Amino acid sequence: MKPRIKLSTIFQYLIFFAIGLGLVWWQLGRMTPEEKTQFYESLRNARYIYVIPIVILGLLSHLFRALRWKLLINPMGKVSGENAFYSVLTGYFGNTFIPRFGEILRCTMLSKYERVPFSKLVGTVITERLFDLVCFILFLLLTVLIQLNTVGDFLDEKLSLISAQKRGVHSWLKLLIFLAIVIVCITAGSYLMKKYKDRKIVLKVKGLLAGLREGVSTIFRLKERGAFLLYTILIWALYLSQIYIGFKALDVTQHLGIGAGMSVLALSTIAMIVAPGGLGAFPVAVQQVLLVYHVNNISFGWLVWGVNTALIIVAGAISFLLLIYRNKGRHHAIAHEKPVNTEDN
C-alpha cells in the first residue's frame, strides 16, 4: 500500500516553497532601481527559446558535480548518487542566503541520510574546492594565452589598478597582522589541546580534525581518477556552453564566439566569489568583459544571472523536499547504527 503523505509534511513543503519565493523577492529587493530596470529590460529583449538549453545544461553541470563528489566520498563509504545530487542542489540553494553556507548544508544533508560522518564530507568539499581553484587558474591562463592581444591587455590594465590601490605600508601591515593572528591561534589551539587532551570537547575537536583530514586525503586514494577528470572537464564545458548559448539569446551578443565566452566565464567566476550569489557584481563583471569585444551592454549579464539564480532557487527547493521524501525513515535508522570506522582503512 502506498504511504499517505502527512499533513505536517505538506505544510513543511509549502513552508519551504514560501521561503524560495521569499528569496526571489529578497534578491529583487536588494537591487537598485537602475539594476531592476536593466534586469527587466534583459528579460524583455531575450529569445526565450535559448533559455531552455541553458537550464538543461545548468542541471547537467550540477549532476556531474554530484557524481564527481561521490567519487571523492567512495573511499570512505558508498553513497547514493541521487542523494548526492539533491544535496549539491540544496547546497547551492543555501549559498543564495549566506555565502559558503551551502557547503555546510550539503554535507549536513548527505550525512543525515548516508553512513559517512559530516566532518569527512566537509574534508571532501575542501578538496573539491581546492581542485576547482587549480582548474580555474588553468582555465584563466588558457583564456589569456589563446586571446593574448585581446584579454591580455584588459587583465594587465585591471591588475595594474588593483596593484596601485593596494600598494603601501598599510596593506603589508594588514597582511602581517593577519598572519600573526593565524599563527597565534594555531599555537594556542595546539597547546590547549595537549594540556586538556582528555576533555570531552578536546576529543570531539580531535575527532572532527581527524575526519577533515581523512576527507581531504581522499584525493590521494581516488581509484577512478579518469572519471574524476572527465567530470571536471564536463562541468567546465557545460559552464562555457551556457555562456555561448546565452549569447544567442540577445541581438547585441549573438555574434560573439567561444573566445568571448571563455573570457566571460573567467571573470564572472570571480564575481560569484566576491558577491553573495553574484548579485550586482556578476552583470557588471560581464559588461566589463564584453567591452573588450566592443559590446557595451549589461543586459546579457543580468539575463544569465537571472536564469541561473531562478534555476538554483527552484531546483534547490525541490531537491531539499525530495531529499526528505525519498529518505523517509532512513535518518532514524542510520542514527541508531554504530558509525563506520574508516580511520584504519
| Tens of each residue's pLDDT in the chain, 345 residues | 444 545 665 565 566 556 656 655 665 676 678 777 777 777 777 888 999 999 999 999 999 999 999 999 988 888 999 999 999 999 998 887 777 788 999 999 999 999 899 888 988 998 898 899 999 999 988 988 888 777 666 666 655 555 555 555 455 666 677 678 878 877 877 777 777 777 777 667 667 666 666 666 677 777 888 999 999 999 999 999 999 999 999 888 999 999 999 999 988 888 777 666 666 677 888 888 888 888 877 788 888 888 998 899 899 989 998 998 888 766 555 555 544 444 444
pLDDT at position 327 is 87
pLDDT at position 325 is 86
- Residue (of 239, 247, 249, 260) closest to 43 by Cα position: 249
pLDDT at position 282 is 79
pLDDT at position 34 is 77
Q: Would you say how long the chain is, in residues?
A: 345
pLDDT at position 344 is 42
pLDDT at position 341 is 46
pLDDT at position 139 is 93
| pTM of the predicted model over 0.85 | no
Question: Per-domain residue ranges for the chain?
Answer: 35-330
Residue 277 φ/ψ region, left for φ over 0, alpha for ψ in the -120 to 50 degree band, beta for the rest: left
